[in-house]
Structure 1
Amino acid sequence: MELVEATADDLDALVSRWYSLAKSVEAYDEVNELAGPSVDDVAEDGFRSHLDDETVTDYLVVHEGETIGFVTLREGHHPSRKHSHYLRIVNLAIDDGHRNRGHGTDVVERVRELARDRDCDHLTVSCEWDNEDARRFYRDTDFRPKQVEYVQPL
């Protein structure tokens, strides 16, 4: 498994995979509802802006020459904290036909390596509270709960 940095040529692959991930998250809370009914309603601008943002990188997850998912990473700093330099997993999705085969765990391990190479001192990630599969996955890959995020629709 390898992570291949995405380029402008990969926008369609990123958007379609993100849309699938976003659709699956809709069930967990009303604030997750997508604005449009199909992948065609998703603007590429979000991923296109990542190409120019030094703190955000999208990677395709490639296994045996086939793209099987993607991960979006954001690097950041909390200058007032001892553990100040972090790498955040913003999105992580493995295509349906490739799940439960260890690919997600491999991605997390590769992200750890990237974080160490960037001199980060910790990783962060969040998932929907009611998404037991995601919570179990992150616990199984050595993440621990740190804080709870609340939402209030207006």
Structure 2
Amino acid sequence: MELVEATEGDLDALVERWYDLATSTVSYSELNELAYADASEVPDEGFREHLEDPSTTDYLVSVDGDTVGFVTLETGHRPSRARSRYLKIVNLAVDEEHRNRGYGAAVVERVRAMAGDRDCDYLTVSCEWDNDGARRFYRDAGFEPKQVT
């Protein structure tokens, strides 16, 4: 498994995978209601902006040359904290037909290494509180619950 930094040519693949991920969160809160009925209606502007933003990077999850998912990472700094530099997993999705093969866990381990390489103090992620599967996945990956928003 490797993470391949996304380029402009990958925008459609990112949008489609993001839409699948976003659709899966709709049932957890009315705040997750989507404005688009279909992935083809979603503009790629958000991901296009990531290409220009040094704090946000999208990666395709690649296994033997095949794309099986994506992850969006964001670096940040909270100067009022002793542990101030962080790397955040904003989005992480493995395509349904490739789940339960350890790719998600491998992505988290790779991202954890990237956080160390970037001299970050910690790695953070958010997920829907009622999404027991996601919470279990992140707990098993070593994350600890911190807050409910």
What's the offset of the Cα at 1:146? 1.0
Distance in 1 separating the partners of 2:46 and 2:121: 27
Residue segments in structure 2 that go unaligned for 5+ positions in a row: none
Distance in 2 separating the partners of 1:145 and 1:31: 21
Residue segments in structure 1 that go unaligned for 5+ positions in a row: 150-154
Partner of 1:2: 2
Distance in 1 separating the partners of 2:36 and 2:102: 32
Aligned identity (percent) is 65
What's the offset of the Cα at 1:147? 1.2
Find the residue that maps to 2:16 and give its secondary structure.
helix
Distance in 2 separating the partners of 1:120 and 1:76: 9
Q: What is the correspondence of 1:8-27 to structure 2 with a 5 Å cutoff? A: 8-27=8-27
What's the offset of the Cα at 1:148? 1.2
Q: Which amino acid aligns with 1:100?
A: N
The TM-score, its normalising length taken from structure 1, stands at 0.96
Distance in 1 separating the partners of 2:29 and 2:145: 20
The TM-score, its normalising length taken from structure 2, stands at 0.99
What's the offset of the Cα at 1:59? 0.2
Partner of 1:67: 67
Distance in 2 separating the partners of 1:137 and 1:124: 14
Runs ≥4 in structure 1, deviation > 2 angstroms? Answer: none
How many correspondences in the alignment? Answer: 149
Find the residue that maps to 2:127 and give its secondary structure.
coil
Q: Which amino acid aligns with 1:88?
A: K
